[in-house]
Structure 1
Amino acid sequence: MSSITFAGPVPATRLRITARGRRVLAALVALPVAAAIAFAALSGGSALASGEQTTGNTFATVTVQPGDTLWSIAGEVAPNADPRDVVAKISQLNLVDGGVIEVGQHLAIPAEYGATGR
């Protein structure tokens, strides 16, 4: 059996990055940053593009009592208006699905009608 001998300690080599490697590394770092900026720019303007007003809305509230229906509440808060229109606006404003309301529930009434009957 023969033994293998080494000439001495192996010198440590330094990592060298070429110009092409630096460009690739810079692109990999910049890509998520650019994607985040593009996402923020595209999604940030959606609220303004809707054209909906977000200020100046004031509402009166009505608490649902036993036996109340949207129709009866519409008749109380807007006796001179068409109850179908009032029920539709109250339902839309409060996200009431199928006209189902519960006792104790607070319903927002559009300012144009107010809560004159209660």
Structure 2
Amino acid sequence: MSTVILTAPAAIPGRQRAARTRLRITRRGRRVLAAVAAAPVVVAVAAAVLGGGAALGSGVAGAPAGTFETVTVMSGDSLWSIAERVAPSADPRDVVDEIASLNGLAGAELEMGQRLALPAAYSTAD
């Protein structure tokens, strides 16, 4: 009579069960993964910052020289008095706003001798 021995599959030679391992990311690996994920955002922001002022800093001339009539600020002049002088029939608030916008003025302070460009709508050269 022969005896049959039953064994578990892991005990059969040449047939080993693969051990399951969990993927572990080290601290350095997390930093690398974060850097790779953030790289496109950093590149996009850098491109926007570097290219955003291109229109302002370009050498392309906006309007040809001599297109605007200018006025020289005299002692005691203000934007309001200049607006009333160059456009007596217009609302001085609108004219002051247009002159300030055209000349890039942050405030209402003027210096004697300063030259201000006048909007074409209020030019007397017509």
In the alignment, structure 1 residue 60 sits paired with structure 2 residue 65: no
- 1:90 positional shift: 0.3
Taking structure 1 as reference, are residues 98 and 60 closer, same or farther at Cα in structure 2, changes over 3 Å only?
A: same
Structure 1 gap ranges (5+)? 1-38, 48-53
Aligned residues with identical type, % of pairs: 54
Query: Which one has more relative contact order, counting CA pairs under 8 Å at least 6 apart?
Result: 1
How big is each residue's C-alpha offset from its partner over 1:91-114, in whole Å with a ceiling of 9 and x where there is no partner? 011111111110000000011101
The TM-score with structure 2 as length reference comes to 0.47
Q: 1:82 aligns with which of 70, 74, 91?
A: 91
Q: Which residue of 2 aligns with 1:93?
A: 102
How big is each residue's C-alpha offset from its partner over 1:42-82, in whole Å with a ceiling of 9 and x where there is no partner? x5xx75xxxxxx45792100000000000000000000111
Taking structure 1 as reference, are residues 81 and 56 closer, same or farther at Cα in structure 2, changes over 3 Å only?
A: farther
The TM-score with structure 1 as length reference comes to 0.50
Quote the RMSD (CA, aligned, Å). Answer: 2.7
Structure 2 gap ranges (5+)? 1-46, 56-61
One-letter amino acid of the structure 1 residue matched with residue 116 of structure 2: L
List, as ranges, runs of 4+ consecutive aligned residues in structure 1 with deviation greater than 6 Å.
none
